[in-house]
Amino acid sequence: MTNFWNERYGNQEYIYGKTPNVFFAEQLQKLKPGTILLPCEGEGRNAVFAALKGWQARPFDTSEAGKIKAEKLTEENNVDIDYLIDDAEIVQYQPNSFDAVAFIYAHFPPSIRKKFIKKQ
């Protein structure tokens, strides 16, 4: 699956654009900023938006190409995010590390998603 996403994100254009998912943006603005985990974040548009709103954004994805584009987007917006290359099945975080978790177009089976949520 990593190869698929590296190929998909390997073009210059941002596949989902540079602006955040509309639902994500609406919901995030209702919350007090804190630390947010963004699994399967791809090119970083939601993480960058969160950082612009005062959140400590902790995205991860398996795609190196996605991370490269996310880093470019952070530079364009003068924000920092802590982007990790990892897999949802094996990624590990300390318990109670996040104030929010946002699954926006997280493309993995429900069984993996359930295990991931239980870990957090």
CB 102 within 8 A of CB 34: no
Domain ranges of the chain: 2-11+33-119
Q: Which of 103, 58, 98, 99 lies closest to 82 in space, CA to CA?
A: 58
The answer to whether the Cα torsion of 44, 36, 50, 105 is positive or negative is positive
Whose tokens are 């109670």? That residue is: 96
Q: Which of 103, 98, 105 lies closest to 114 in space, CA to CA?
A: 103
Write down the mean pLDDT value for the chain. 91
The topology (CATH level 3) of 2-11+33-119 is Rossmann fold (3.40.50)
Report how far Cα 49 is from the mean position of its chain's Cα atoms. Answer: 10
Tens-place pLDDT, residues 62-115: 999 999 999 999 999 999 999 999 988 888 888 889 999 998 987 777 777 777
Whose tokens are 């969160």? That residue is: 50
In this prediction, residue 23 carries a pLDDT of 96
> Residue 117 above 80 pLDDT?
no
Whose tokens are 């602006």? That residue is: 19
Whether the model clears a pTM of 0.85, i.e. scores above it, the answer is yes
* Spatial separation of the C-alpha atoms in residues 19 and 85, rounded to whole Å: 22
In this prediction, residue 119 carries a pLDDT of 64
